[in-house]
Structures are given as C-alpha cells and as structure tokens.
Amino acid sequence: MRMAELSARTGVPIPTIKFYLREGLLPPGERTSPNQAQYGEEHARRLKLIRALVDVGGLSIVASRAVLGHLDSGGVGELDTLGKVQYSLTRRHERDPDDDESSRAAGEQVQQLLDRHGWHVRPDNPARAGLAEVLATLHRLGQHDVLDLLDRYADTAHDLAATEVDALWRRTSVEDRAEGVVMFSVLADALLAALRRLAQEDLVVRTAGTGRTGGGAPQT
C-alpha cells in the first residue's frame, strides 16, 4: 500500500507518518521509485503500536524508539528481550535513592517488601527506584494510611500480574510476547487506572456518610 492508504488504514496523518520515519520509529517502506514506497501490514501494525506508546502511554519519541529497538532486536534471549522492553517502559528516576534519610529508608522498605513476598526482582529494575520514591514521598507527607496498604497493594498487583503473565506466555512468538509486554505495561496500566477511578467514585457515592466500605459496597 502507498503512504496515503497506510494513513487511511491507521488514522495516522501523512505528516506524522513521515515524522516517525525520520525519527526511526517506523521502518522504511520498499522503494518503488525515487519518490514512492510501498508499505505492508507490518507497517500498519507498527504505526498502531507507536500511537499506543506516544498517545496513551505518554512516552517521548526517544523512549518510544528505545522500546521499539528492543522489540526489533535479534540474537538475544527471550527473557532478556522481554526484560529490556519492560525496563525501557519504566520512567527512570534521576534522584539518587540514597540522597537523604527518607529515600534510604524507602529503598530499604522496598527490599523488605520484596523479601517478605519472595519476589525475584533484579537490582537494576527501574521500578524499584520508582516505588522507593513514592514511599519516600508518602513518608514525608505523613500519609501513613496509604503506607499501611502497601502489602495489600502488593498482593493485588501480584495476582493481577500472574493473570497477565499467563496470557503473555500463551502468545506464540517472542515478537508477540514482547509486544504483549508493551500492551500490559502501557494500555493495561491506563485501563486499570481508569477502572480504579470509576470504582472509587462508585464506592464514595455508595458509602457517603458512613466513612467505611466494610470490605465491600453496601447493597442497593
């Protein structure tokens, strides 16, 4: 298909497609003349993935390029590929985790959480620093009722992750699994956040005046 058809198929404007080509996010099409190229279904699929990363995931062009580069990498082990894709989707924190007492305490709290739940997580997983930063901020703000839910959050997250990873392994190729990591990390995160906020509103409305849910919403 020509670029105009690719644009119509995906809903991505031609100038945006050209921008993605220049930035190396979208591989070039097959040249049919000096000014024309043909694009295949793989280009349409890649364009939709780019839009998911940039528009829904809010990733920068640089971060999106890194994710797509890991998707395209060959000659590395499957776990290495999946890990690199996931790590590249996690925002890096420039703050030194040991730059003050609360940060150091939060880093230790993260390690204690992992040990307590028996999670196998590499030391360089950027989500460690992200969680530590959140915990340190909660400590500084004195939000101890949120901190008291940490293990409950961890249990819920692990149960959900187990379902997601089971679905991931049902995919039949490394490429599909790597793309699944993107979907679960970007789109499912957005999906879960939206559902959680809807559920919060429902429970607040149902329990207004009582101050408690009693472990579940009152019957209507």
Per-residue model confidence as pLDDT tens digits over 9-37: 999 999 999 999 999 999 999 988 888 89
CATH dotted code for 3-56? 1.10.1660.10
Mean pLDDT of all residues in 194-211: 90
In angstroms, the CA 14 to CA 99 distance is 47
Contact 105, 141 (CB under 8 A): no
Place 192 in a pLDDT band, splitting at 50, 70 and 90: very high
- The single-letter code of the amino acid at 133 is E
User: Is 90 exceeded by the pLDDT of residue 70?
Assistant: no
Distances (CA, A) of 51 to 40, 121, 168, 195, 200: 17, 30, 21, 21, 29
Going by DSSP bridges, is the β-strand pair 30-33/36-38 parallel, antiparallel, or unpaired? antiparallel
Cβ neighbours for 83, distance < 8 A, ≥ 6 positions apart: 122
Place 96 in a pLDDT band, splitting at 50, 70 and 90: low
Per-residue model confidence as pLDDT tens digits over 80-95: 888 888 888 877 655 5
DSSP 75: S
Q: Which of 26-30, 80-84, 186-190, 193-197 reaches the highest mean pLDDT?
A: 193-197
pTM of the shown model: 0.75
Q: What is the residue-wise DSSP string for 79-114?
A: HHHHHHHHHHHSPP--S-TTSSHHHHHHHHHHHHHH
pLDDT of residue 53: 85
User: Is 90 exceeded by the pLDDT of residue 183?
Assistant: no
Nearest one of 54, 63, 141 to 106, comparing CA atoms = 141
Per-residue model confidence as pLDDT tens digits over 159-172: 999 999 999 999 98
Q: Report domain extents, the chain.
A: 3-56, 90-167
Q: Using alpha carbons only, give the angle 12, 13, 18 rounded to the nearest 5 degrees.
A: 100
